[in-house]
Amino acid sequence: MKTGHAAALAPPASGRGAIAAAAEDENPRQAVGDYSFVVVASRLPVDRVEGPGGGPEWQPSPGGLVAALEPVMRAASGAWIGWQGAAGAPPAPFDTGGMHLVCVGLSASEVRDYYEGFCNATLWPLYHDVIVAPEFRRPWWQAYLQVNRRFARAAAEQAAYGATVWVHDYQLQLVPRMLRERRSDVRIGYFAHIPFPGYEIFAQVPWRRQIIEGLLGADLVGFQRQGDTMNFLRACRRAAGLATKGSLVRVPDSAHGDGGNAVGPRSQPRRHAADGFAAGRVVGAAAFPISIDAAAFGELARREDVRARAREIRAALGEPEIVFLGVDRLDYTKGILHRLTAYGELLDEGRLGPESVLVLVASPSRERVEHYRALRDEVEVAVGRINGEHGELGNPPVHYLHQSYPREEMAALFLAADVMLVTSLRDGMNLVAKEYVACRQDETGALVLSEFTGAADELGSAFLVNPHDIEGLKDAIVRAATVSPRDARRRMRSMRRRVREHDVAHWAATFLDALKQVPEQGQLLAASAP
């Protein structure tokens, strides 16, 4: 397929031959593909399940990235390159839901070293301010190189001449450069869904220069917050010795040396920045806060079956006066233990009583990574302690659900909850906060929101908290639970307006527009950061 903004990038009829010839000179095996819009993400937007006849079937899968990109992909009908989530040989590419899906296979040892290792035990904790200690293991880095190379090759094979390729997230930071080396004709965007840490933290990674150079293969590097962008620009200066000017990074040809881990010769033609900033390529960096399909959540929340289910949930909970809700992947970045500590203390102190319940949905996540197993134990001990001390027969104060639910059930939970608790210690954005707001059509409800989420930049009318400050968190929970209907409406109205006007389509369009303008314009348009 072949549509949308990508059409604007199509080569002149005579161009393809020239590029194909050039590509052949550099890499005779590199074919040019058919898709003018290609998403490269760690996971495919589907899960493999067993169909009624025993054969494989594909179902849309939950998760932040998928939830955010699915509507964009459906509208653009492009190719999506990702992993199926389990070790083994990949299925052949197939089409579903208007998308061409190309599965990249990982061996069992790559799942261990690349996915569970370098992605989830090195980069994830490092980029979330070392909430737990990152592990630096050289074989994991080798697996990261190898798997990134495989994704880059798959992208190069699918992308049409002059295609736009959008690479996502920390699992694939080397892909932009590896892809550029194979295909200098494509335009490459990269978006970081998780935070980019301060330099003192980033500097710990032994392969910091290779990571920066990998990212700088893109034309545009996008982040959730302005602070992430600043951290990245500083890392470009410090780790790679590059010059930056405003939101631009100059990448001279020489900056793409092999860094001790050769990824092949550089093929990008030398350019001159329009503002005379310097010779070489110019890469833009800016904040593009991601969002949700607000209209789709609004529709779900209006459905009579969903509303009936919300009433059923409140009835099943014993018709409490106040329903608190937390919804997260079971991850140490989400501050679930801080939330439980605050809630438990409020019950201890009698500031909350049996009129309130907390529903804690902690969906299973990364269960083979040690820190996640340990966290699950800690959360379950904390829930057990609160319920043991404050519960009555048939009436526990915390309803803990270590399960995944369909979207309808999530929407019903959002409708059933008077107060939503988002207490992340560090979170790129946090889509759950926006989903809650999008579902509250009657403008009731209150959001307690950690200031360490990207969402806090946009949802300033929430009850903002520092989750490390347990006393402050407790006060905010009580204030949210006792807010006057008028104040609640004022806050919710302003948050709903923001989420409605800055939805996922706005995010994607803003990013892709900015990507079109870099580097020709020489100056990146201000992104939509508030």
Binding interface with ligand GDG (CB under 6 A): 62-65, 67-68, 193-194, 290, 327, 329, 363, 404-407, 410, 427-432, 435
Nearest-approach distance from CB 161 to ligand GDG, in angstroms: 30
Minimal distance, residue 377 CB to ligand GDG, in Å:
20
Q: Which residue number, 131 or 432, has a Cβ lying nearer to ligand GDG? A: 432
Taking the least distance from each CB to ligand GDG, the nearer of 93 and 198 is 198
Q: How far is the CB of 393 from ligand GDG (least distance, A)?
A: 28
The residue sitting closest to ligand GDG, measured at its beta carbon, is 64
Minimal distance in Å, beta carbon 192 to ligand GDG? 9
Q: Is 62 strand, coil or helix?
A: coil
Expressed in angstroms, the distance from the first to the final Cα of the chain is 34
Nearer to ligand GDG, 199 or 405 (CB): 405
Burial of 86 (0-12, 13-18, 19+ CB in 10 A): exposed
Look up residue 430 and give its amino acid: N
Question: Which residue, 168, 162, 292, 156, is CA-closest to 222?
Answer: 168
What gap in Å lies between CA 414 and CA 402, rounded to an integer?
A: 17
Closest separation in Å from C-beta 424 to ligand GDG: 8
For ligand GDG, the closer of residues 113 and 331 by Cβ is: 331
Tell which residue, 80, 40, 31, 89, has the closest CA to residue 60.
Answer: 80
Least CB distance from residue 359 to ligand GDG, whole Å?
12
Query: Is the Cβ of residue 160 or residue 325 nearer to ligand GDG in the bound state?
Result: 325
Contacts of 214 (CB under 8 A, 6+ apart): 148, 173, 174, 175, 176, 177, 178
Neighbours of 6 (CB within 10 A): 23
User: Comparing C-alpha atoms, which of 215, 196, 188, 167 is closest to residue 69?
Assistant: 167
CB of 168 to ligand GDG, least distance (A): 9
In this complex, which beta carbon is closest to ligand GDG, that of residue 175 or of residue 504? 504
| Min CB(337)–ligand GDG separation in Å | 16
User: How near is the Cβ of 401 to ligand GDG at its closest, in Å?
Assistant: 9
Q: How far apart are CA 390 and CA 392, in angstroms?
A: 7
Closer Cβ to ligand GDG, 65 or 160, answer by number = 65
* Kind and range of the H or E run holding 498: helix 485-501
Q: Pick the closer one to ligand GDG by CB: 181 or 427.
A: 427
Q: Are 176 and 188 in contact (CB under 8 A)?
A: yes
DSSP 381-399: HHHHHHHHHH-BTTB-SEE
Nearer to ligand GDG, 148 or 430 (CB): 430
Q: What is the 3-class SS of 233-274, one letter each residue? A: HHHHHHHHCCCEECCEEEECHHHCCCCCCCCCCCCCCCCECC
CA-nearest of 60, 62, 98 to 79 is: 98
Question: Least Å distance between CB 473 and ligand GDG?
Answer: 18
Kindly tell me which of 26 and 129 has the beta carbon lying closer to ligand GDG. 129
Count of other CB atoms within 10 angstroms of residue 363: 17
